[in-house]
Amino acid sequence: MSKLEEVNKSPMKGNTSDKLTSAEVGKLWATYMGNSMARCVLRYFLRHVDDEEIQSVLEEGLQLADRFAQTVSDIFTRDNHPVPVGFTEDDVNLEAPRLFADEFYLHYLKYTGKAGISIYGIAVPLMSRKDIRDFFSDCLASTVKLLNDVNDLLDAKGFLVKPPYIPVPKKIDFVKKQGYLNGFFGDVRPLQGLEITHLYDNIQNNAVSIAVLLGFCQSAELQQARDYFKRGKAIASKEYEILSKLLVKDDLPTHPLINHLVTDSTSSPFSDKLMISHKIDMYSMRIRTYGNALAFSARHDVAATYARFIVEVGNYVEDGANIMIDLGWMEQPPEAADRDALS
């Protein structure tokens, strides 16, 4: 055996015979759940698409979701872990009428693809076993390629709304006064590049979320679910307006709403279980994007806005989880041993 082969087989490299760590189990579980949901959503989208180029990227997305979910299933089976139930054919009605226009599918893929990159990117450095690390590296690279294809197609079709432009600095400069951090009192400086970046990203996320919730509101079966989606739409709409005003105040453009891409169908293509889970997942990701934006926002008013949003969105996610628990729909993630109960 060569020296390289010995290194590759060492425990430090992570043999497939090594027991899965908590980080590996947790991230694999979340990956299966998310991609089993994506399979349902994308199969429905593919039943109602006219544009051949958009159909092609939807097929690419579905192939990734199938591959990622199957790989996790194989890993869990090989390591004697139960495979999650996730979402199945019972959670999608492929015969339901069209709920969204073709253009919406591109915005949706970008919206959910960003969440995928976040999950996979954080997973890679936490994985001990080489096969698991390689899997998440592949998930990350494949999702980045999908997002590049989506962006290229958005641009080619004239649907891509670019973030605002700012002037090229005349010279390198340094902050000289603590007033640079002002946001509520005193002289308030214009937004800087990183603040604009995260404002735009979160405005874009809210614009797509509002459209998703509009479709879910009009097609959900349970009144409890409809009320939950209406509340989510109100939250997303308010946050969209507040963040947009921060850009407009500095004479910068915002991302437009895309509500016109939702049809008037009231027939549900997805189970209420899938739709509530979808919003719990995406609003959980919103907490992460708001936290990331807060970390890059030096102005007090911008940072305080994100801090307030995190609390509001966190409460919404918790209420959604309570609905899922009450209805017996929340699948429990793998957890640590309860030592108190065991003793």
Residue pair 209/111 in contact (Cβ under 8 Å)? The answer is yes
Question: 260, 275, 229, 233: which is closest to 102 by C-alpha?
Answer: 260
CA angle, 41 as apex, 35 and 45 as ends, to 5°? 135
Q: How far apart (Å, rounded) are the C-alpha atoms in residues 324 and 326?
A: 6
Q: Kindly indicate the confidence band of residue 1, based on its pLDDT and cuts at 50, 70 and 90.
A: very low
β-bridge mates for residue 100, sequence order: 262
Contacts of 162 (CB under 8 A, 6+ apart): none
- What's at 66, amino acid-wise? D
Place of tokens 């000289």: 176
pLDDT at position 198: 98
Contacts of 339 (CB under 8 A, 6+ apart): none
Q: Kindly indicate the confidence band of residue 16, based on its pLDDT and cuts at 50, 70 and 90.
A: low
Q: Is 13 helix (H, G, I), strand (E, B) or coil?
A: helix
CA angle, 117 as apex, 205 and 218 as ends, to 5°? 35
pLDDT at residue 261 greater than cutoff 70: yes
Superfamily of domain 20-156 in CATH is: Ferritin, core subunit, four-helix bundle (1.20.1260.10)
**Mean pLDDT value across residues 204-224:** 97
Intervals of CATH 1.20.1260.10 along the chain: 20-156, 179-326
DSSP one-letter code for 38? H
Taking the chain, what is the end-to-end CA distance rounded to the nearest angstrom?
47
| Mean of per-residue pLDDT scores for the chain | 94
Residue pair 319/230 in contact (Cβ under 8 Å)? The answer is no
Fold of 179-326: Ferritin (1.20.1260)
Contacts of 25 (CB under 8 A, 6+ apart): 81, 334
pLDDT at residue 14 greater than cutoff 50: no
**Mean pLDDT value across residues 146-152:** 98
pLDDT at residue 3 greater than cutoff 50: no
Q: Dig out the tokens for 144 from the structure.
A: 């980045």
Q: How far apart (Å, rounded) are the C-alpha atoms in residues 129 and 18?
A: 7
